[in-house]
Structure 1
C-alpha cells in the first residue's frame, strides 16, 4: 500500500519528463501519415502535464527529442533560428510536435538530434544500429553502396545522455523558466561514405568494399534531405558540453 501511494505521488508530480517516443523511420511515416502525427506529436503527454498544472502545484521541465529532419537540407550547418522546411512526413510531424509543445508547455527543452549512434543497450534493441550495421556488412566482405552527397552530424549517445542530465540537474536545482531549442549533433559534418570509411579504417576493413553512389540513384520511397548538418554553437555555449568527434564515437562504439 505504501509503495502504491509513493508511485502515485511520483507519477503525479514529475520534475523532469523526457519524451523519446517516436515513429522515426521516415518511410514508415510516409506510408502512414496519420500514425506519424499521432505518435510524434505528444498531445496526450502534454495534455496530461497541463492537467497537473490545473489541479495541483506542479513545476516540470519537458525534454523532447526532435530531429535534424525539420530542416530542408539545401545548405550546411543549420542554426536553430533558421527556417524549418521539412521535405517528408517524418520531418513535418516533428515540426508539428515542436509547435504544439511551444504553445502548450510553460517549460521545455526541444533537442533537434542528428543520427544517434553508440554501443548496444543493456536490453538490446531489435532495430539495426548504424555503426554496427556498417561494421557487419563490411566484415562479411560485402560490397555496399553508401551516399557521397547526403550529410549529417551524427552524435554519440552518451553525449545525448550528458545533455539530458545537464538540463535535468540545472532545472531541479534552479527551476528557472526555460523555453529552449537546441541542435544536438556531433562536431563533424560527414557523408554516408565518410561514415563507412571511418568504420572501415578503425576496424581494418577493405575500403574497396565501400561503393560511393549518389542519393538520387536510389528510390527509398521517401524524400530525404541532402545536407542537414547543424551548427551546435548554442549547445556548447548554453550547457558547456562539447560532443566528441565522430571518429572517437565510432571507436568507443566498437570497443570490445
Structure 2
C-alpha cells in the first residue's frame, strides 16, 4: 500500500482526501498543515505540523515519513490577495513548490501538484491540457511559474488543474461560492453575481478522488480536473437557489467590470476532461448531484 503525504490537509481538499482515505483505506496517509490538525477524527492516519515556507521543516517531515507521493494542495488562492501581496503569493505558490520539488527529485517521490484554470486568459475555453497558458492575474502567473518549475524538473510529477472547488468541511477557514450563495439567500440578503464569466465548478470529493487516482495510476504530465457542467457564475447561483428553493429576487446580475476587483479574472474557462477520463478513470458528478451530496452532509453535520 502506497504512503502519501498531503500538504494543506486542513483545507477543503485536504480534508476530503483524509475523509476518502479513512473511508476506503486505499493508501497510508500522512496529513500535514500549518498549526494543529482541524480534522475531527484523529485515528487511522498520522498528522505532521508543517509550514511549507520552512524548507528545513519540510525536508525533516518528508525524510521522517518517506512517502511514495506528495499531494501538494497548500497554496495562496485568494486572487485579489495575491494581486495585493505578490511577495507572499510567490513565496507560497512558487518558492514552496521549488522546495518540495527538490526533495521529491532527490528521493524519487511522486509529486501531485494542484493548479488552476486561471493559468488561461479565458478567451477560448473550455481548454485542453496542451492549450497555451496566458494568465491575466498574478495568482495565475504564480501558478504558471510553479508549473514551469515542475515541468523543467526531473521529478515524477502530475499537475492537476481544477476550477472553482466547492464543498463543505470541518472548521472551514474560508467559504466557497455554493455555501456563500446559499447562506446569503437563506438570510434574504441581496447578492451581486457576475453574469459574464463561465466556469465548470468542481465538487471537492471529485477532486480528492482525482488526486488519489493520479497516485494509483502513476500519472505523469498535466490533467484537467473539474465538474462536467459548464455555466455562468450567475447561472451557478441560480441553480443553488433552485435546488434549495430560495428566493431568486435577491440575486442581482452584474458585469465583471462593475465589481472593480483588484485582479482580473478570465472570462470563459472550463476544461475538456477526456484525458483524465481516459487515463485515470475520472468520473465527476453533475452539479446537481454535487448539491445533493452537500445537502446530505449538512444534515449529518450542520455545524461544519
Pairwise same-fold verdict (TM > 0.5) = yes
Using structure 2 for the length normalisation, give the TM-score. Answer: 0.74
Residues 134-213 of structure 1 mapped to structure 2, 5 A cutoff: 134-171=181-218, 178-213=219-254
Contact 1:69–1:86 (CA under 8 A) maintained in structure 2: yes
Tell whether the 8 Å contact from 2:217 to 2:280 is kept in structure 1 after alignment: no
The whole-number CA distance in structure 2 between the counterparts of 1:16 and 1:72 is 31
Matches within 5 A, 1:228-239: 228-239=269-280
**Alignment pair present for 1:99 and 2:148:** yes
Query: How much is the aligned-residue C-alpha RMSD, in angstroms?
Result: 1.8
Among 73, 81, 90, the alignment partner of 2:139 is: 90
**CA shift at 1:186, angstroms?**
0.7
Alignment of 1:9-24 (within 5 A): 11=64, 13-24=66-77
Tell me by how many angstroms 1:76 deviates.
2.4
What SS is found at the alignment partner of 2:115? Answer: strand
- Structure 2 SS opposite 1:111: strand
After superposition, the Cα gap between the structure-2 partners of 1:216 and 1:59, relative to the gap in structure 1 and judged at 3 Å, is same
- Alignment of 1:254 onto 2:303: no
Q: Aligned in 2, Cα 1:85/1:138: closer, same or farther, shift over 3 Å?
A: same
2:265 maps to what in 1? 224
Stretches of structure 1 that go unaligned for 5 or more consecutive residues are: 1-6, 172-177
Higher radius of gyration, 1 or 2:
1
Residue in 1 aligned with 2:158? 109
Q: 1:103 to 1:11 in 2, by over 3 A?
A: farther
Any gaps of 5 or more consecutive residues in structure 2?
1-59, 300-304
Where relative contact order (Cα < 8 A, 6+ residues apart) is larger, the structure is 1
1:194-237 alpha-carbon deviations (Å, 9 max, x no partner): 11111111111012111111112210111111111111111111
For the 8 Å contact 2:190–2:250, the answer to whether it is kept is: yes
The whole-number CA distance in structure 2 between the counterparts of 1:251 and 1:186 is 14
In 1: Cα distance, 2:247 partner to 2:182 partner: 11
